[in-house]
Amino acid sequence: MSVSRSYRGVTADERRSRRRAALLEAALDLLGSDDGDIGVRAVCTHARLTQRYFYESFSSLDELELALFTEIAGEVARQGAAAVRGRAPTDLFDACRTAFEGAYSVFQQDPRKARAATIVSANTQGLMEVRRTIVTSYTEAMRSFLGPTLGQTVDSARGRLTLLYAVGGALEVTQGVLSGEVDLTHSELCDAVGQLLASSVQQLLDGLPD
C-alpha cells in the first residue's frame, strides 16, 4: 500500500495533478500560437518542468495531444448542454442552434483551443479515437436535453444512429470553418449546424407513433 506524502500541505497526488495540468496548458499555449509546432522539450520548457515529469503523466507527445483534445471536447459538450439549460429554447431549431452556439463559444472565448483542435485533428495518430470522443460526448449531451421530448426513442438504435450521423456532419462543418476550408460567418455557421441537427432530430420525431 503506497502512502501519498504531503509537502508544504500538498500531497504527492495533488502535485502530480498540478504538473499534468501545467503540461496540458503549455501544450495549449504552444499549439495555439501562430507557429503551432511543439515537442516534448518545448512543452517542458514552457511548463518549467523537466522531461522526467512529462513522462510521469504521458508516454508520448501524441498522448499529450490526445489528452488535450479530449479535454477540449468535454468542455465543448458541457457548454452546449449548459447553453440549452440556461436559455430554454422555444422550438427544435432554436434548441439545436443554441446548443451548438454554446459549444462553439469555447473556441470564441479561447482561440488557442480552436487552433489546437485543428492542428491535433490533422496530425495526431489517434485522430479516429479523438473524433469518436468528440462525437460521442456531444451526442450524449444532445440525448440529455432531447430526452424529455423524444422519450425512449432517443435511446433506440435508430435514435442513436440518427444523432451520431447529425453530430458527425456538424463536426465536419465546424472543422471546415476552423481550418479555413469553409467560409462562413459565425451566424451562418450556427444557422447551418442548427438546421442540420434539427432536421435530423425532426426525422426521429416524424417516426414516432401517433
* DSSP conformation letters of the chain: -----EETTEEHHHHHHHHHHHHHHHHHHHHTSSS----HHHHHHHHT--HHHHHHH-SSHHHHHHHHHHHHHHHHHHHHHHHHHHH--SSHHHHHHHHHHHHHHHHHH-HHHHHHHHHHHHH-TTHHHHHHHHHHHHHHHHHHHHHHHHGGGGGSHHHHHHHHHHHHHHHHHHHHHHHTSS---HHHHHHHHHHHHHHHHHHHHHTS--
Question: Pick from 57, 72, 96: which residue ends a domain?
Answer: 57
> pLDDT 10s per residue in the chain (210 long)?
444 565 566 788 899 999 999 999 999 999 988 776 789 999 999 999 999 999 999 999 989 988 898 888 888 888 888 887 887 777 888 888 888 899 899 998 998 988 888 777 766 656 666 667 777 777 776 776 666 555 566 567 777 777 778 888 888 888 888 878 889 999 999 999 999 888 887 876 676 554
Residues 71 and 145 in one domain: yes
Residues 41 and 93 in one domain: no
Residues 47 and 71 in one domain: no
Is 2 a domain residue?
no
Sign of CA dihedral 189, 191, 195, 198: positive
Residues 47 and 151 in one domain: no
Residues 53 and 65 in one domain: no
Predicted confidence at residue 123, as pLDDT, reads 65
Question: Pick from 18, 38, 57: which residue ends a domain?
Answer: 57
Report the CATH number that the domain containing residue 19 is assigned in CATH. Answer: 1.10.10
Predicted confidence at residue 145, as pLDDT, reads 64
Predicted confidence at residue 2, as pLDDT, reads 46
Can you read off the three cell numbers belonging to residue 180?
Answer: 479555413
Angle, helices 111-123/157-179, rounded to nearest 10 degrees: 110
Predicted confidence at residue 44, as pLDDT, reads 96
Residues 65 and 52 in one domain: no
Predicted confidence at residue 3, as pLDDT, reads 47
Domain count, the chain: 2
What burial letters (b/e) apply to 131-170, b meaning 16+ CB within 10 Å?
bebbbebbbebbeebbeeebeebbeeeebeebbbebbeeb
Report the CATH number that the domain containing residue 154 is assigned in CATH. Answer: 1.10.357
Predicted confidence at residue 19, as pLDDT, reads 95
Is 3 a domain residue?
no
Can you read off the three cell numbers belonging to residue 22?
Answer: 501545467
Domain with 86, as residue range(s), is 61-206
Asked if residues 182 and 176 have their Cβ atoms less than 8 Å apart, the reply is yes
Predicted confidence at residue 73, as pLDDT, reads 83
Is 1 a domain residue?
no
Predicted confidence at residue 90, as pLDDT, reads 75
Predicted confidence at residue 147, as pLDDT, reads 61
Residues 177 and 148 in one domain: yes
- Over its C-alpha atoms, the chain yields an Rg (Å, rounded) of 20
Residues 130 and 173 in one domain: yes
Farthest-apart Cα atoms in the chain, separation: 65
